[in-house]
Amino acid sequence: MEKIPLKGALKLDPISQNSDRKSSDSKNDSITELKVFASENKNYIALSTRKLVKDDRDSLYGNTFIDTSAIELYDSKGKLKWSESMANRHPSECMVSNTGDFVSVAWKLKYEGRNISKLSCYDKNGKEVFRDDDIEYLYSGTDKNIIYYTKDIYYSGNPENAKKLFCINLANNNSWEKTFNAERVSVLAVSGNGENALCHAGNLYLLDKKGSIIWEKNYPPFHGTFSLSGNAEYLIQSPGAGTCFVYDIKNNKILFKKEKNK
């Protein structure tokens, strides 16, 4: 359990399962890829299993594989809570809430060289309670009950998606989208409790969980990494190696400043 990272997934080595054969052309050839995702408190584990089985049908592109994947939720004692499978897609990202009440999965499909994801959110019984298409990136705080996300603009054919931020609050099943007057919106950070998102859309915006703008500021420079405290009272910015700023958001003050070589 301690080897499972708090952020991201633990990817296990692929398992090649080949039938008795002398060449690699056997139609039974398959590869199984495993990923392990954990809730922040590690009380719940999501196991992603992706099985690629070689398709014996003729293809202009050589060997092709049928992609069948599943996601399984376990508690810390190893008891299976539920499982869900999907053909031709695999979980690229998975967010598990600390209570195990919600699991959000980005099911990825590779289409014409592009990786397109569909967001499916499941409750504690494995029932899908929310779905959206053309997902680009997912963001969340510690508990994973509130999911912020952006959408792909190419596959959807909707360039307006670049200006929008989307959100689903699974605790009350409330979803919203917000359009900014900018060419593109990116999420820089989410507060620990998940109730605030810091976005860059021309300027810097702090939003609450309902999509309302708390403030709009110009904090140059915009590059680097950002973090929000658990309740979004403080903003930490690191524009580059050896440089760090800590802002008191409410009072609009710099509390701490460390610059490289100073």
Residues 6+ apart with CB under 8 A from 112: none
Q: What is the mean pLDDT of residues 83-94?
A: 87
Helix (H, G, I), strand (E, B) or coil at 51: strand
Residue 224 CB burial class (10 angstroms; 0-12, 13-18, ≥19): middle
Chain mean pLDDT for the chain? 82
Structure tokens at 125: 């019984």
Structure tokens at 181: 């007057």
What confidence category does residue 261 fall into, taking pLDDT thresholds of 50, 70 and 90?
low
Structure tokens at 41: 């408190």
Phi, psi at residue 42, to the nearest 5°? 60, 25
In contact, 175 and 129? CB cutoff 8 Å: no
List pLDDT tens digits, range 174-224: 999 999 998 899 999 999 889 999 999 988 899 999 999 998 887 655 567
- Where do the domains of the chain lie? 1-18+27-144
Tell me the whole-structure pTM to 2 decimals: 0.81
Find the DSSP H helices in 105-192.
none
The confidence score (pLDDT) of residue 24 equals 39
Residue 203 CB burial class (10 angstroms; 0-12, 13-18, ≥19): middle
List pLDDT tens digits, range 8-61: 566 555 544 443 333 334 444 667 888 899 999 999 999 998 887 776 665 555
